[in-house]
């Protein structure tokens, strides 16, 4: 006899359209902002051409990851309203998709954060600042201390669904 939860799961699955997610593993080079942006944009375009609705890019995809000193990170960091996320928003609008990816954020407080942004056609929807820094990351980044500002509409649910802001 099937259990009640499997029945609910199949009912839920029948009502929800699937979402195609593309996760790209790129090899950004430290300090090569223009080349890294082009790699990320090419990955976004390829994912959209393959039918993706959500594209996930790596941590610190715009800057590269292994740094020698904090000055190097500061030279590569940008605010959440900077050119990298603006380009992602442009691609999100052109392809009708959502993009999640990492970048070194220069906060309004002057601190550097290892951040991830959620971007759609309307722009930056949420920025998460990594709270639990690993290994040597605390030499370069301040830990984040708040969850992203964007929350799904309505009461919190544990439906197991993927919520995509603005979609």
Cα–Cα distances (Å) from 136 to 32, 42, 104, in that order, read 21, 30, 15
Q: Which residue has the higher pLDDT, 81 or 166?
A: 81
pLDDT at 162 over 80: no
Q: Confidence class of residue 146 from pLDDT cuts 50, 70 and 90?
A: confident
Over range 25-30, report the average pLDDT.
93
Task: Using alpha carbons, select from 66, 149, 59, 74 the residue that is nearest to residue 107.
Answer: 74
Cα–Cα distances (Å) from 129 to 29, 97, 100, in that order, read 22, 22, 13
Residue 167: per-residue pLDDT: 42
Residue 73: per-residue pLDDT: 96
Considering the chain, what is the average pLDDT of its residues? 85
SS3 36: helix
19-139, CATH topology level: Nitrilase/N-carbamoyl-D-aminoacid amidohydrolase (3.60.110)
Q: Which of 65-74, 124-133, 140-149, 152-161 has the weakest average pLDDT?
A: 152-161
- What ranges do the domains of the chain cover? 19-139
Give the pLDDT confidence of 115-125 residue by residue, as tens digits: 999 999 999 99
Task: Using alpha carbons, select from 83, 104, 25, 105 the residue that is nearest to residue 58.
Answer: 25
DSSP string, 87-148: HHHHHHHHHT-EEEEEEEEE-TTS-EEEEEEEEETTEEEEEEE-SS--TTGGGT-PPP-S--
Please name the residues in contact with 43: beta carbons below 8 A apart, sequence gap of 6 or more.
22, 24, 26, 55, 57
Q: Which residue has the higher pLDDT, 15 or 108?
A: 108
Give the pLDDT confidence of 32-81 residue by residue, as tens digits: 999 999 999 999 999 999 999 999 999 999 999 889 999 999 999 999 99
């Amino acid at each position: 006899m099937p259990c009640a939860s499997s029945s609910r799961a199949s009912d839920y699955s029948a009502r929800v359209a699937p979402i195609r997610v593309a996760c790209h593993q790129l090899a950004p080079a430290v300090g090569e902002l223009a080349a890294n942006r082009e790699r990320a944009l090419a990955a976004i375009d390829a994912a959209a051409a393959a039918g993706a609705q959500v594209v996930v890019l790596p941590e610190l995809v715009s800057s590269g990851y292994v740094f020698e000193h904090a000055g190097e990170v500061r030279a590569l960091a940008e605010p959440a309203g900077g050119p990298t996320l603006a380009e992602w928003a442009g691609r999100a609008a052109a392809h009708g998709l959502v993009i999640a990816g990492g970048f070194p954020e220069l906060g309004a407080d002057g601190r550097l954060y290892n951040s991830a942004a959620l971007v759609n056609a309307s722009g930056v929807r949420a920025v998460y600042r990594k709270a639990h820094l690993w290994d040597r990351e605390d030499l370069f980044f301040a830990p984040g201390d708040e969850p992203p500002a964007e929350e799904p509409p309505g009461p919190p649910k544990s439906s197991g669904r993927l919520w995509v802001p603005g979609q």
